[in-house]
Structure 1
Amino acid sequence: MRLLKIGIASFLLMLGVSCNSARSIVGNGKVDSKLTAKQLIKENGKREAKFKTLQAKVKIDIIDGLKASGHTLNLRMEKDKTIWLSATLGLARVMITPDRVQFYDKINDQYFDGDYKLLSDLLGVELNFKKVQSLLIGEPLFDLKKDTYTISNSDVSYILEPKDQNELLELFLLFSPSHFKMDSQQLMQPLKKRFLQIDYTGYQEVKDEVLPQNIKIIAVEDSEELNVLLEYKSVSINEEVRFPFKIPSGFEEIIL
């Protein structure tokens, strides 16, 4: 479980999304019981993010049992290409590209330089850049056009699940009737007693984009639980961004 928490925490430090003159969205849409799964997937596809770049400040709170810590980080993203995050004074930095995950920590003089295999093994989901990016911007981790889904609904959300659930990995996707973006993504691995839930508890409209404002991530294995809360603010999109990143010499490689 300790390795799982390290992996998830490192993974979550890569998150962020928002914009300058953002306007919070009030979820007042009503569920239409006649909406089909095909129609829901089509409506969700229309809301796919179209920005080219973004910058933001991301407030992250990590709660691990009785321990809690908070961080404020600077995030920059070039859609489909790079996710970059830096702590105050550059004491720690993360850079993710489609084929690489890197970060370094100046406090402990350590660095990591690898691929997505570790995070995929830890979370029980095959990760790649696209899935990480989708998680950050309130889009499904999986391509909804590549499977057949059934639809149901609660009082406040549409619920999609694969027509043939995999007993090794059960998936439930909840969508908002207000804007058809994600309310929640829930992945369960009953045999491994693992559960991952990603809740999008607030959205904002940024230059015609609907993007997450608050995300809550819950990771459970056996009786241990890790919670991560993210808040995105002070953001701009479609401006020029740079991604300075160089692992300092003499640092020790992190082997997880």
Structure 2
Amino acid sequence: MNNVLKLSIFLLSFIFLSCKRPEIALKNKELKNFNLNNIFDTINASYINYEHFFSKISVESGFSKYSFKGTLKIRKDSMIWVSVVPMMGIEAARIVITNDSIKILNRIQNQAILKDMSSIKNYLGIDINYKTLQSLLLNELLFLDSTYEKNEFSLDPKKASNRFQLVQYTDKEFKNLSSKNDVLNHIFTVSNTNLRPSEIEIRNFSNSKNLKISYSEPSTTDSLQFPSSILINTVYDTAKIWININYLKVSILDSQDYKFSIPDGYKILN
């Protein structure tokens, strides 16, 4: 598999908006009056009610020292569609991710790669599903443990800051454990002003993996407030990989096409 396809899979494996609205600013002292259910409900209420997301993107990566431009489309809760254009405006790959499958057209080698979602876990060693990828891309809270409960989090207002943190361990007795296997630690740093995650960190103590996602301050484009970039850092033992996604043009549409078909003569790889 060439570098374009490797980077495409990696990008979309981690690939975690907000329309212009009156800002809901929370002061740290006001957080004391919020219980965790209220905090999560307020954050969720800040998510845009969209059906079709569109953006031109550029991507740089330390994974293969590769960069490309392309187009990202999302049909809410059902499909992530990406066109990869590394140079001269010629499409090198097209990727479609759904709740149960991954399809990649490698136009350079005339191949079609068909995988199920479990292949992401096998490839990266991280349990990621479609919802996780969508949340990462759209600046929403994301969880690698699907059984999380709101009451497992603790609220930590940051002093002299316009942010607060939500912290969770998947094992409530973590601090007293002699073994840290199978323990995940979620840390969400959230802006008091727009109630969007500014940083997400997920640590897996069983295999020393660390995923850190940093969102830039939101900018306004076509009446939408959305981060202009996402920086994704992963650490596994001594291996470090980073990806920076720049959003060049963001729009919410009533409809858009998601064309994907396998041309005659392409070799099918499973």
Does TM, scored on the shorter chain, surpass 0.5?
yes
- When residues 242 and 205 of structure 1 are mapped into structure 2, their CA distance, relative to the original with a 3 A threshold, is same
1:102 aligns with 2:103: yes
1:160 corresponds to: 166
Partners of 1:123 and 1:175 lie apart in 2 by 27
Q: Give the RMSD, CA atoms, in angstroms.
A: 3.3
- The percent identity for this pair of structures is 20
Give 5+ residue unaligned stretches, structure 2.
Answer: 175-179
1:238 aligns with 2:253: yes
Per the alignment, in what secondary structure is the counterpart of residue 172 of structure 1? Answer: strand
Q: How many residues align?
A: 244
1:176 equivalenced with 2:191 (yes/no): yes
Q: Which residue of 1 aligns with 2:41?
A: 42
**Equivalent position of 1:226 in the other structure:** 241
Letter in structure 2 aligned against 1:162: Q
**Cross-structure match for 1:93:** 94
Contact 1:59 1:71 (C-alpha < 8 Å) held by counterparts? yes
Give the counterpart letter for 1:230 in structure 2: I
- 1:60 equivalent to 2:59? Answer yes
Q: CA deviation at 1:49?
A: 2.2
Give the 3 Å change call, closer, same or farther, for CA 18–233 of structure 1 in structure 2: farther
Confirm or deny: 8 A CA contact 2:106 2:112 kept in the other structure: yes
* CA pair 245-106 structure 1, distance change in 2 beyond 3 A: same
Question: Which range moved further: 135-144 or 75-84?
Answer: 135-144
Query: Does structure 1 residue 82 correspond to structure 2 residue 85?
Result: no
Q: Is the 8 A contact 1:17 1:211 kept in 2?
A: no
Structure 1 pair 94–9 and aligned structure 2 pair: CA distance change class (3 A): closer
Deviations 1:24-49 (A, max 9, x none): xxx9x675144133332122011122
| Residue 244 of structure 1, CA deviation | 1.1
Give the structure-2-normalised TM-score.
Answer: 0.77
TM-score, normalization by structure 1: 0.80
Partner of 1:146: 149
Which position in structure 2 is the counterpart of 1:197? 212
Higher RCO (CA < 8 A, seq sep 6+): 1
Matches of 1:205 and 1:182, distance apart in 2:
17
Q: Deviations over 1:39-90 (max 9, x none)?
A: 32122011122111122101111113xx522111012222122211112333
